[in-house]
């Protein structure tokens, strides 16, 4: 690109914040997980969430996006993403030590809250919040632009979609999934989840989906979440800006761009649901490493890597932006 990264970042507009994968994406991930969790896990979750309905996971899937805007929950805003300080489309990669700052990130949060769901010395209220965070963050970590620093996860890249001015982050969170499904209600999410569950069980994902659980190790939540983060981040180079930022900036992306992106979105939502179910089963079926988070955090120190000047500047811009993501298109 012509200008140094720091200059481009300083030209960023101020964009009002909203939610991560929109409601549709999060609810769909939750419904897929409901299809694959064991009866024991389902019963554990219903009890902890005090919800015996058949939408018990979907009902809490976007709680974390409301909570982050409360005074009490403001600390959790930086936990919805990890800003990979890589160089797409030339190279994509995530590095926990480099990319997860002192205030935490989605990888450290998945580790922390995984280990706060079952221990009996943690209050029920805190365990319930931990479960709601894990349900939500397993969704967010599959959105490629939640695992990318460039222009604040694409929030600073203006685009139009179906004639509406918005930004690249927002169309990945919401516009593209909603165009595919035609709405964002709970029943839209249920319908989408049923389609994806069929593809996982006997359709186009049947062969690939067993490999989606590679690298999952409940005793090392940081390493497990990093597998999912690397996977999502790789799509920044291959599907989000394969031809660079300039190729999408200011463009209408409803046509060919959408056609190429939508299979990636479908597959990432399907993966998130399968991985969430597997992760919850591991947590509930007694294999959680109590204190696993501490072990991982001591061996891999976050927020202490030596950063290049442009990386320091990118992090400063993100903090100034207020840790949020997405443009205020419609709140739901
Ligand atoms: C799990 O629960 C469903 C209905 O809630 C029941 O049909 C099924 O037999 C149960 N499976 C096992 C292994 O208990
Ligand atoms: C559980 O839900 C029921 C019905 O929604 C409600 O009456 C009850 O107070 C809840 N209990 C707790 C501990 O939140
Ligand atoms: C884990 O979560 C608790 C509750 O939100 C928080 O107080 C604590 O600082 C977190 N620990 C780490 C290491 O992130
Ligand atoms: C809960 O117990 C574990 C040991 O089982 C201990 O390491 C941890 O510090 C305790 N946590 C709290 C909040 O007391
Ligand atoms: C992006 O759009 C915002 C309004 O939504 C505008 O203020 C800003 O100047 C635009 N940025 C660029 C680089 O076009
Ligand atoms: C899955 O693998 C089997 C055996 O290799 C193959 O016959 C089948 O066509 C594959 N299905 C899909 C949807 O790729
Ligand atoms: Zn989120
Ligand atoms: Zn988002």
pLDDT at 19 > cutoff 90? no
In sequence order, which residues have a C-beta less than 8 Å from that of residue 255 and are 6 or more positions away?
Answer: none
Best of 204, 206, 207 to mutate for ligand 6, by most ligand atoms within 8 A of CB?
A: 207
Domain assignment present for residue 13? The answer is no
Domain assignment present for residue 232? The answer is yes
Is 119's C-beta closer than 6 angstroms to any atom of ligand 4? yes
Assigned token pair, 280: 């919850």
Give me the CATH number covering residue 112. 1.10.575.10
Higher pLDDT, residue 300 or 308: 308
pLDDT in tens, 174-208: 999 999 999 999 999 999 999 999 999 999 999 99
pLDDT at 30 > cutoff 70? yes
Is 263's C-beta closer than 6 angstroms to any atom of ligand 4? no
Q: State the pLDDT at residue 151.
A: 96
In angstroms, the CA 127 to CA 120 distance is 9
pLDDT, mean of residues 301-313: 84
What single string gives the DSSP state of each residue in 200-218? HHHSTTTTTGGGGGTT--T
Domain assignment present for residue 12? The answer is no
Domain assignment present for residue 112? The answer is yes
Q: State the pLDDT at residue 288.
A: 54
Best of 119, 122, 288 to mutate for ligand 4, by most ligand atoms within 8 A of CB?
A: 119
Domain assignment present for residue 15? The answer is no
Query: What are the CB-based long-range contacts (under 8 Å, 24+) for 208-215?
Result: 209/270, 209/271, 209/274, 212/271, 212/274, 212/275, 213/274, 213/275, 213/278
Which residues are tagged catalytic?
A: 21, 26, 65, 68, 80, 136, 140, 146, 169, 173
- Protein residue closest via CA to atom 2 of ligand 6: 207
Q: State the pLDDT at residue 123.
A: 96
- 265 in Cβ contact with 172 (< 8 Å): yes
Q: State the pLDDT at residue 306.
A: 87
Domain assignment present for residue 16? The answer is no
Q: State the pLDDT at residue 109.
A: 97
pLDDT at 295 > cutoff 70? no
Q: How many structural domains is the chain composed of?
A: 1
Work out the angle between the directed axes of helices 39-49 and 124-140 (0-180°, nearest 10). 120
Domain assignment present for residue 50? The answer is yes
pLDDT in tens, 246-256: 999 999 999 99
Is 120's C-beta closer than 6 angstroms to any atom of ligand 4? no
pLDDT, mean of residues 18-25: 77
Q: Rg for the chain (alpha carbons), in Å?
A: 19
Parent domain of 89? 22-149+160-321
Domain assignment present for residue 79? The answer is yes
């Amino acid at each position: 690109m012509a200008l140094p990264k720091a200059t481009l970042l300083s030209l960023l507009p101020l964009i009002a914040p909203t939610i991560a994968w929109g409601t549709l994406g999060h609810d769909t991930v939750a419904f897929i997980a409901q299809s694959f969790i064991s009866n024991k896990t389902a019963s554990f979750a219903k009890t902890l969430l005090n919800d015996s309905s058949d939408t018990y996971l979907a009902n809490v899937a976007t709680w974390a996006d409301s909570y982050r805007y409360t005074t009490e929950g403001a600390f959790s805003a930086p936990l919805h993403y990890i800003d990979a300080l890589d160089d797409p489309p030339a190279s994509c990669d995530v590095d926990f030590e480099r990319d997860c700052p002192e205030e935490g990130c989605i990888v450290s949060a998945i580790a922390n809250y995984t280990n706060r769901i079952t221990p009996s010395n943690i209050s029920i209220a805190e365990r319930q919040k931990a479960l709601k965070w894990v349900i939500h963050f397993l969704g967010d970590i599959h959105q490629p632009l939640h695992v990318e620093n460039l222009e604040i996860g694409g929030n600073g890249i203006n685009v139009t979609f179906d004639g509406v001015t918005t930004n690249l982050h927002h169309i990945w969170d919401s516009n593209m999934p909603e165009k595919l499904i035609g709405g964002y209600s709970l029943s839209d999410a249920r319908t989408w989840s049923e389609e994806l569950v069929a593809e996982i069980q006997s359709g186009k994902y049947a062969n690939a989906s067993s490999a989606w659980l590679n690298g999952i190790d409940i005793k090392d939540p940081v390493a497990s979440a990093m597998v999912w983060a690397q996977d999502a981040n790789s799509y920044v180079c291959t599907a989000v800006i394969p031809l660079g930022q300039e190729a999408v900036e200011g463009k209408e992306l409803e046509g060919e761009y959408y056609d190429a992106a939508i299979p990636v979105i479908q597959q990432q939502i399907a993966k998130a649901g399968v991985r969430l179910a597997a992760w919850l089963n591991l947590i509930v079926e007694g294999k959680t490493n109590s204190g696993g988070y501490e072990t991982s955090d001591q061996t891999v120190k976050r927020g202490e890597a030596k950063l290049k000047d442009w990386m320091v500047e990118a992090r400063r811009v993100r903090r100034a932006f207020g840790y949020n993501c997405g443009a205020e298109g419609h709140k739901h």
